[in-house]
């Protein structure tokens, strides 16, 4: 029987058994007072006092033949563990501190290494098939890819590939996407880095990273280096107030040397993207460096159709969607804007509980992108509502009766964005220039709200603040940039040059005070003529103004076709005008 199987009894029972002489053997543990004893063939345990009292010890020694006193000794681990544990923790702490110091030293030693991401042919990713439109741009990039794939074809006739290609265009036009497509088309390694990755708080780090970037590319033999946002490090030198030894200029100097310095970079093509080419250093743009600039403009109508087709793939659309109509109604939108337009239309479809994207969802998404979010909860007094209706009716009428204006698409007095009402026009096609009559028509339309308020309420309000800004900006550009003023003549007085890092602080004005005074007079004359012409139109079409305003008060939103119909009614004479009931005025309103 083991001690675990022994029966536990009280200490008094143990003493009684000893007195009666029944205990044959026993053992006393000096550390915990445990007593193990046998009575016959049975084994028992008990716990006695520590130490055993003298009387009880004498009794046990006289009555029990085999009774021992045992003091167990701890093993090695039990003896030394309390001492070894703090020593081990101290050693572990010093080891961790040493590893951390080595890591920090390693980071300090590697801070000058390039952060470029390298893509090999095993990870092609995007290709030119994923880039909709821009056939001319893709042709320019394809020449670079062909040279890297088949350099012998160019070498036979002595052609030299450009060392640097600069993609220039507004934000969201797909410059970075084209670079990713180049990575997918080329059978050479592709290294991608952002201009801001070169900059660090320590001096010389950017230049070191440029050296490491080109050294890594040279080890690959042939490679494409893509630098996004080149203007962050390629700004014109000497334009600031901090001298020529700052970190950014050191980085730029090193890049100039690597692209076309004493050591050639044969087989390495640098592709960069920027939307601010006007602020780049001239040394970057000279022949031998970024000697080829590829303009990535806002997409034309055909390009927008292709881009919309790409973004509509995989989406459930209704049969009433016409991509041509959507593309025609989104002039000036970049590829990113079109992608957002498709996504917003999908969100509108989900909100209304539909299972497909319809044409109405695209109309709502376009209105939100161009006009802003409608604020239906805004409370306005009847007087303010009537003033807003006549204000927007003035805009709509001036736009509708002038042939040089874009057609009216939608008029609303629902607060949208920061405006109390909106008159929206859409061009029938892409437009790349503006003649004098078109500019004057736009100014007359901008004046329509202000003049309508003065004509009806005999006073002005603050609602025409943005309209006056637009009209004044147009008039100023007509005089100072477009040469549309007979008094100024064919002279450019625009001072809208690059403004950064104090470059224009030391530049003098490009016109005399007398010329500036003449410019101000011409701007005022053009604006007053536009206002007078606007007033004459509204007086002539006063009945149409009232009809459009009344329709807005009843329906809040009317279409451009409804505006044209109401103007036609006003031209039909008093009899037809008297028959125009409120229900007829709002007929055909299909706006949301």
**485 φ, ψ to 5°?**
-120, 125
CA distances from 314 to 177, 284, 353, 377, 569 (A): 20, 42, 19, 36, 46
Listing from the earlier edge strand, what are the strands of the sheet with 42-47?
7-8, 42-47, 34-39, 23-29, 66-70
- Strands in 292-295's sheet, in edge-to-edge order, are 117-119, 190-194, 223-228, 268-274, 164-168, 292-295
Residue count of the chain: 592
Q: Which residues contact 276 (CB under 8 A, 6 or more apart)?
A: 231
Question: Can you read off the two tokens belonging to residue 312?
Answer: 């509509």
- Tell how far CA 26 is from the center of its chain: 86
What dihedral angle (degrees, nearest 10) is formed by the CA atoms of 430, 434, 440, 443?
A: 60
Q: Do 352 and 363 form a contact (C-beta atoms < 8 A)?
A: no
Among candidate residues 504, 499, 501, the one with its CA nearest the CA of residue 249:
501
392 part of the active site: yes
Catalytic residue selected from 392, 440, 556, 562? 392
Torsion sign, CA atoms 530, 533, 538, 541? negative
Helix (H, G, I), strand (E, B) or coil at 152: helix
Q: Write the CB contacts of 174 (distance below 8 Å, at least 6 apart in sequence).
A: 131, 134, 296, 334, 335, 336
Active site residues: 392
């Amino acid at each position: 029987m083991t001690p675990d199987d022994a029966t536990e009894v009280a200490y008094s029972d143990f003493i009684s058994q000893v007195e009666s002489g029944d205990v044959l053997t026993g053992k006393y543990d000096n550390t915990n007072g445990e007593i193990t004893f046998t009575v016959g063939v049975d084994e028992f345990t008990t716990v006695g006092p520590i130490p055993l009292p003298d009387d009880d010890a004498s009794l046990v020694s006289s009555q029990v033949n085999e009774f021992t006193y045992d003091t167990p000794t701890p093993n090695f681990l039990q003896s030394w563990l309390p001492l070894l544990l703090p020593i081990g923790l101290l050693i572990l702490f010093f080891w961790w501190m040493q590893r951390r110091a080595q890591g920090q030293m390693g980071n300090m030693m590697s801070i000058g290494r390039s952060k470029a991401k390298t893509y090999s042919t095993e990870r092609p990713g995007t290709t030119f098939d994923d880039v909709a439109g821009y056939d001319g741009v893709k042709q320019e990039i394809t020449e670079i890819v062909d040279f890297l794939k088949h350099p012998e074809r160019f070498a036979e006739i002595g052609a030299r590939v450009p060392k640097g290609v600069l993609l220039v265009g507004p934000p969201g036009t797909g410059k970075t996407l084209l670079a990713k497509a180049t990575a997918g088309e080329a059978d050479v390694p592709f290294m991608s880095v952002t201009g801001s990755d070169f900059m660090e708080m320590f001096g010389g780090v950017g230049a070191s990273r440029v050296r490491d970037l080109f050294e890594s590319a040279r080890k690959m033999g042939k490679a494409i280096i893509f630098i996004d946002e080149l203007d962050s490090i390629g700004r014109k030198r000497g334009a600031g107030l901090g001298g020529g030894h700052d970190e950014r200029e050191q980085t730029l100097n090193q890049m100039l040397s690597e692209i076309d310095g004493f050591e050639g970079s044969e087989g390495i093509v640098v592709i960069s993207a920027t939307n601010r080419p006007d602020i780049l250093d001239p040394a970057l743009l000279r022949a031998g460096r970024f000697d080829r600039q590829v303009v990535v403009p806002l997409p034309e109508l055909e390009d927008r159709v292709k881009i919309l087709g790409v973004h509509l793939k995989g989406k459930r659309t209704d049969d009433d969607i016409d991509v041509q109509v959507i593309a025609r109604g989104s002039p000036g939108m970049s590829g990113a804007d079109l992608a957002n337009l498709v996504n917003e239309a999908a969100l509108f479809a989900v909100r209304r509980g539909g299972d497909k994207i319809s044409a109405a969802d695209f109309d709502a998404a376009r209105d939100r992108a161009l006009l802003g979010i409608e604020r239906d909860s805004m409370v306005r007094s009847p007087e303010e509502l009537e003033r807003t209706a006549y204000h927007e009716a003035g805009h709509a009428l001036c736009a509708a009766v002038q042939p040089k204006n874009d057609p009216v698409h939608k008029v609303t007095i629902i607060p949208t964005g920061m405006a109390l009402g909106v008159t929206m026009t859409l061009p029938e096609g892409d437009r790349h220039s503006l003649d004098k009559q078109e500019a004057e028509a736009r100014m007359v339309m901008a004046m329509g709200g202000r003049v309508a308020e003065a004509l009806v309420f005999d006073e002005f309000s603050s609602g025409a603040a943005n309209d006056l800004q637009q009209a004044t900006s147009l008039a100023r550009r007509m005089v100072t940039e477009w040469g549309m003023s007979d008094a100024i003549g064919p002279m450019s007085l625009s001072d809208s040059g690059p403004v950064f890092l104090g470059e224009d602080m030391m530049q003098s004005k490009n016109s005399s005070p007398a010329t500036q005074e003449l410019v101000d007079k011409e701007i005022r004359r053009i604006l007053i003529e536009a206002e007078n012409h606007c007033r004459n139109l509204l007086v002539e079409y006063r009945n149409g103004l009232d009809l459009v305003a009344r329709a807005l008060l009843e329906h809040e939103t009317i279409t451009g076709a409804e505006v044209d119909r109401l103007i036609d009614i006003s031209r039909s004479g008093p009899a037809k005008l008297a028959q125009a009931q409120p229900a007829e005025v709002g007929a055909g309103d299909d706006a949301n």
